[in-house]
């Protein structure tokens, strides 16, 4: 939905410096920039979001303090192809800065998706190309505007491009991804919104079989499912004030940006009356999806869904009973469309509790006395649709101090057509003549750590066998900790054969046993990128080559592939910053964790892929004196049916 664009009054006081911009504040920021710079309609607004105050302001804030509210904007001038950054003081109504950022492209905006599709369908060259394939109705064509990447092609430099991939529906409600228009690539100048060429690599027949999955087409459903109710008769156990969440001993503040989507701030756990910090800020900082097919019309498929499109701007509006179950609290998100009008994503973020099986249990076999506690977790999530794929992003908080991040991958695999009887080498046949190319989903989460305070160190821990002279019986092994003292030395990869994890330690704090308090980062599923080191996607997303990076905190270092990965040649972000090899010992550190899902598709992924999950955990490591969940009460014995287990 779009709200009125008139310049409103300066926004009212908010309760905290990290509260997201309100609709009025967004509209005010846009109006100030328009007025101060006399902007014409040729300008697009790629980003309007909170300009986060410095840490000292946030951490020193007390209720009643005066807060200067600022907005950060990224704008694109379609006429000159120039990109600008601006900072606006909403409190004073002033434009504080206006800077041209040369040789960059802002992310492709949702409005551009729609306009690009219209431009492609209007192109006579494109119509001629699809007519050769027997397609006579362009209105049935689906156009996904993929980013063009950067391959050093001279006539592409400085041109805002999309290399569009196309499919065709049999009818308006058909699943178009079942019928790729193979080998036809319209290349669109997004500033002019014109098709500048149509690459045609030869006719490949349309796959013959549909891939429909909606209730309109699926008529025979399972009949043996009985209702499964999730009931909280007394309501949820969490409390929400603005964008601050309190649950059990956790306190979490959330935000939302068009680029990152859900952002977590100032996460703390109360222990023996003390509110202990764990991290200051955490978010999905980048994700890259490199494809493995070398054909001339597929090798440029490398999507940076955070930096090239803005995963937050593609967030779904969630509905009760579908994406989330139970007693739900929703947060709306407010962004802008590319013309600067405020857009509301209703129910963008879902908050709820889940039962999660056994938390802890012990039976004393001598007395036959059993104590068991059930685990409950708090879930904060959002889901985004990026063309064919859906991604669900979930932060879980547990009663024992554990934090988990999980991404759920579903939706549709990207499809390509092949000739009859062709068996693709770089993909899988999921239907006759329909190929799902092999690819990876590679994510990076940025965590501004603050374990028990601002100064932390990071250690790599391997489980190793003891040396022979200290191991007379051959059975000894131990956890070996190695300090990662500088940026170069802190570029690490997983080693599951050694049980490798990394611990973020506060060297100034200890628990009752004298161990420094820490949280450990525990890898889950992971692999390395499979493109060669000299591939364009590796230069543009060098962050993928290491699973762990550690940097000293800098407010300007936010995104591992740089601020503007769209069509950028690369060598920026983490590889650039860490060349200085700065110290990361006993200081304010940022931990960047990269994790990859290598997806070799299967028949069962079609037409809609069952959820695959990937992520990691942060577990307390001598952060507490004992199990912090000892005080979780037992479950009522009369809960549920006569078959229910009280544990």
- Spell out the domain ranges in the chain: 23-101, 106-228, 238-291+302-413+438-621
SS3 78: coil
Spell 469-500 as b/e; 16+ CB within 10 A means b: eeeeeeeeeeeeeebbbbbeebbbebeeeeeb
Has 77 been annotated as catalytic?
A: no
Model confidence, pTM: 0.95
Percentage of the chain beyond pLDDT 90 is 92
Same fold, 23-101 and 106-228: yes
**478 Cα distance to chain centroid:** 36
Q: What are phi and psi of 257, to 5 degrees?
A: -125, 155
Q: What are phi and psi of 568, to 5 degrees?
A: -80, 145
Measured in residues, the chain has a length of 647
Greatest Cα-to-Cα distance within the chain, rounded to the nearest angstrom: 84
Q: Which CATH architecture has domain 106-228?
A: Roll (3.10)
Give residue 531's pLDDT.
Answer: 97
Q: What are phi and psi of 95, to 5 degrees?
A: -85, 110
- Edge-to-edge strand list for the sheet holding 369-386: 329-336, 342-364, 369-386, 389-398, 403-411, 609-621, 516-523, 501-510, 457-465, 477-483
CATH 2.70.98.20 fits domain 238-291+302-413+438-621: yes
Q: Which CATH architecture has domain 23-101?
A: Roll (3.10)
Dihedral sign, Cα of residue 145, residue 531, residue 564, residue 558: positive
Half-sphere exposure (Cβ direction) of 177: Cα atoms closer than 13 Å: 20
- DSSP E strand boundaries for 172-328: 184-189, 194-200, 238-241, 244-247, 250-257, 261-271, 274-290, 302-304
Q: Which two tokens stand for residue 413?
A: 């695999």
Residue 108 β-bridge partners:
none
Q: Can you list the alpha helix ranges (DSSP code H) found in 187-254?
A: none
The confidence band for 269, taking pLDDT boundaries of 50, 70 and 90, is: very high
Half-sphere exposure (Cβ direction) of 480: Cα atoms closer than 13 Å: 10
Task: Give the model confidence (pLDDT) of 200-235 as tens digits.
Answer: 999 999 999 999 999 999 989 999 999 888 889 999
Q: Which two tokens stand for residue 63?
A: 């209720």
- Helix, strand and coil percent figures for the chain, each rounded to 5: 10, 40, 45
CA distance 616 to 103: 36
Q: What are phi and psi of 575, to 5 degrees?
A: -65, -30
Task: Give the model confidence (pLDDT) of 304-338 as tens digits.
Answer: 999 999 999 999 999 755 778 889 999 999 999 99
The confidence band for 13, taking pLDDT boundaries of 50, 70 and 90, is: low
Q: Which two tokens stand for residue 249?
A: 């001993």
Give residue 323's pLDDT.
Answer: 79
Q: Where does residue 446 rank: exposed (0-12), middle (13-18), buried (19+ CB within 10 A)?
A: buried
Give residue 324's pLDDT.
Answer: 83
Q: Which two tokens stand for residue 292?
A: 């493995």
Q: Which two tokens stand for residue 334?
A: 């407010």
Q: Which of 389, 396, 398, 459 does the annotation list as catalytic?
A: 389
Q: Of 437, 378, 444, 384, nearest to 409 (Cα)?
A: 384
CA distance 628 to 167: 54
Mean pLDDT of 28-44: 96
CA distance 215 to 222: 13
Give residue 7's pLDDT.
Answer: 42
Q: Which of 174, 305, 588, 605 does the annotation list as catalytic?
A: 305
Has 177 been annotated as catalytic?
A: no
Q: Are 440 and 289 a contacting pair, CB within 8 Å? A: yes
């Amino acid at each position: 939905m779009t709200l009125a664009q008139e310049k409103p009054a300066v926004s009212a006081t908010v309760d905290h410096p990290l509260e997201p911009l309100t609709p009025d504040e967004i509209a005010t920021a846009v109006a100030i920039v328009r007025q101060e710079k006399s902007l014409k309609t040729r300008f697009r607004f790629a980003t309007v979001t909170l300009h986060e105050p410095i840490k000292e302001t946030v951490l020193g804030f007390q209720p009643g303090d005066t807060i200067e509210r600022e907005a950060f904007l990224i704008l694109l001038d379609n006429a000159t192809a120039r990109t600008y950054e601006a900072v606006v003081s909403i409190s004073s109504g002033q434009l504080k800065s206006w800077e041209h950022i040369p040789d960059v492209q802002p992310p492709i905006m949702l409005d551009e998706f729609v306009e690009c599709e219209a431009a492609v369908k209007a192109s006579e060259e494109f119509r001629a190309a699809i007519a050769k394939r027997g397609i006579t109705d362009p209105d049935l064509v689906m156009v996904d505007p993929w980013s063009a990447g950067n391959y050093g092609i001279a006539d592409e430099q400085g041109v805002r491009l999309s290399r569009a991939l196309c499919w065709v529906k049999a009818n308006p409600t058909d699943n178009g991804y079942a019928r790729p228009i193979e080998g036809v690539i319209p290349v669109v100048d997004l500033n002019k919104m014109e098709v500048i060429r149509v690459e045609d690599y030869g006719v490949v027949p349309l796959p013959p079989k549909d891939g429909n999955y909606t209730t309109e087409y699926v008529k025979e459903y399972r009949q043996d499912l009985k209702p499964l109710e999730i009931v909280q008769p007394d309501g949820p156990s969490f409390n929400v004030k603005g964008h601050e969440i309190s649950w059990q001993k956790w306190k979490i503040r959330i935000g939302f940006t068009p680029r990152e989507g859900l952002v977590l701030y100032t996460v703390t756990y109360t222990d023996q009356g003390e509110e202990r910090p764990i991290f200051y800020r955490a978010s999905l900082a980048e994700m890259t999806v490199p494809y493995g097919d070398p054909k001339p019309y597929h090798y440029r498929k490398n999507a940076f869904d955070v930096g090239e499109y803005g995963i937050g701007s593609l967030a779904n509006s969630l509905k009760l009973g579908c994406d989330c179950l139970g007693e739900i609290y929703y947060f709306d998100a407010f962004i802008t469309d590319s013309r600067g009008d405020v857009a509301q994503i209703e129910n963008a973020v879902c908050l709820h509790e889940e039962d999660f099986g056994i938390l802890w249990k012990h039976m004393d076999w001598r007395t036959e006395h059993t104590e068991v506690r059930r685990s409950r977790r708090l879930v904060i999530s959002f889901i985004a649709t990026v063309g064919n794929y859906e991604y669900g992003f979930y932060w879980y908080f547990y009663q024992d101090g554990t934090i988990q991040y999980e991404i759920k991958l579903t939706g549709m695999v990207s499809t390509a057509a092949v000739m009859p009887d062709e068996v693709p080498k770089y993909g899988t046949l999921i239907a006759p003549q329909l190929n799902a190319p092999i690819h990876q989903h590679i994510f990076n989460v940025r965590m501004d750590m603050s374990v028990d305070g601002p100064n932390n160190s990071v250690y790599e821990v391997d489980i190793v066998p003891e040396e022979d002279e200290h191991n007379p019986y051959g059975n000894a092994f131990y956890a070996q900790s190695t300090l990662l003292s500088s940026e170069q030395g802190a570029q690490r990869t997983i080693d599951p054969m050694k049980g490798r994890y990394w611990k973020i330690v506060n060297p100034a704090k200890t628990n009752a046993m004298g161990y420094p308090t820490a949280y450990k980062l525990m890898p889950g599923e992971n692999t390395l990128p499979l493109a060669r080191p000299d591939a364009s996607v590796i230069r543009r997303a060098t962050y993928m080559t290491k699973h762990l990076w550690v940097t000293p905190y800098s407010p300007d270092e936010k995104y591992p592939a740089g601020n503007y990965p769209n069509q950028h040649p690369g060598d920026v972000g983490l590889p650039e910053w860490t060349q200085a090899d700065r110290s990361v010992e006993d200081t304010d550190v940022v931990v960047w964790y990269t994790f990859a899902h290598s997806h070799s598709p299967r028949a069962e992924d079609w037409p809609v892929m069952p959820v695959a999950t990937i992520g990691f955990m942060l577990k307390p490591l001598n952060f507490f004196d004992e199990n912090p969940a000892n005080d979780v009460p037992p479950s009522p014995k009369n809960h549920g049916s006569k078959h229910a287990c009280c544990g």
